[in-house]
Amino acid sequence: MARLLHLSDLHAVAPGQLVSGRLDTAHLLHEAVTTLCARKSAIGPIDAVLVTGDISDDGSAESYVLARRELERLGARLLVIPGNHDRRAPFRAAFSDLPEIAPHGLIDWVADIGGTRIVGLDTLVEGQGGGALRDESLSHLREALTGAAGDMPVVVALHHPPLRTGIRFMDAIGLANPDALRDGLDRHGAPVRVLAGHVHGVYHGLLGRHPVVTAPACCSAFAFDRRADAPAGFMTGPTGCGLIDTAPGGVWTELPFAHGEGPFTF
């Protein structure tokens, strides 16, 4: 089966620039990758690094060069999909050598790794914060599921989660058509695991019978605040990523980039 490092929301910009006048995302990404490299022996072997969008914050070519350089340090196969901050043309240029990235059209793909089928879906609507699945992507999903053996684990990765978190300013720019995704997944005989990003935090839920989990961001977080007058904005942490093992009994777990002191004996 497959063990995937699940990163999301890098929001890279060119070196020396700050996101929202505060976040040095180039430095934060470098430190995150350094932390993961230092923990390799504890984490164990990784089959691929899956990045669920917002690799760039501004869509600049420089930001993708920086992000690609840092991701390569992890020494594993890269699987990438765009998020709402990304721009397809420079995204595609930066990752055009990856076998999954088609030379034109939406950035949808299928990768079979370790007996697991991983399906990447493009929800980017350029110029908007919210996302949507087009007919082409839903057709791509149907074909990918049709080609998966009945006992083959399937993971679907997209940027905008088909969940509502209760954080109003993020739910307002969520996935516009989660029911279409559910209907597509229901064609498969077994539950499909759905991985997403966008919300800068860990949220678990169900889309029909299909489990959904979102990854924390590499650069910032959003406070869980369901009040009607909750302020819209970001926190500097916690940050982290996810790790999923698709073997029977395997789990998705969060890997925080900052730990407390320890371990101490009991």
Place of tokens 């063990």: 3
Q: How many CB atoms lie within 10 A of CB 174?
A: 22
262 has pLDDT over 80: yes
pLDDT digits (tens, 9 = 90+) for 14-41: 989 999 999 999 999 999 999 999 999 9
| Res 15: pLDDT | 87
149 has pLDDT over 80: no
Residue 78, amino acid: L
Peptide bond into 82 cis (omega under 30): no
Whole-structure pTM value: 0.97
| Res 77: pLDDT | 98
Compute the average pLDDT of residues 220-235.
94
- Six token digits for residue 114: 């370790």
H-assigned helices in the chain = 25-38, 40-43, 61-72, 88-94, 135-146, 168-171, 178-185
The dihedrals phi and psi of 50, each to the nearest 5 degrees, come to: -105, 125
- Six token digits for residue 146: 């049709």
Compute the average pLDDT of residues 92-111.
97
| Res 157: pLDDT | 98
Residue 120, amino acid: G
For the chain, report the end-to-end CA distance as a whole number of angstroms. Answer: 34
54 has pLDDT over 80: yes
The whole-angstrom separation of Cα 62 and Cα 246 is 34
Q: How many CB atoms lie within 10 A of CB 39?
A: 13
| Res 263: pLDDT | 86
Give the chain's domains with CATH numbers: 3-253 (3.60.21.10)
Share of the chain above pLDDT 90, in %: 94
What three-state secondary structure class fits 69?
A: helix
The whole-angstrom separation of Cα 6 and Cα 50 is 5
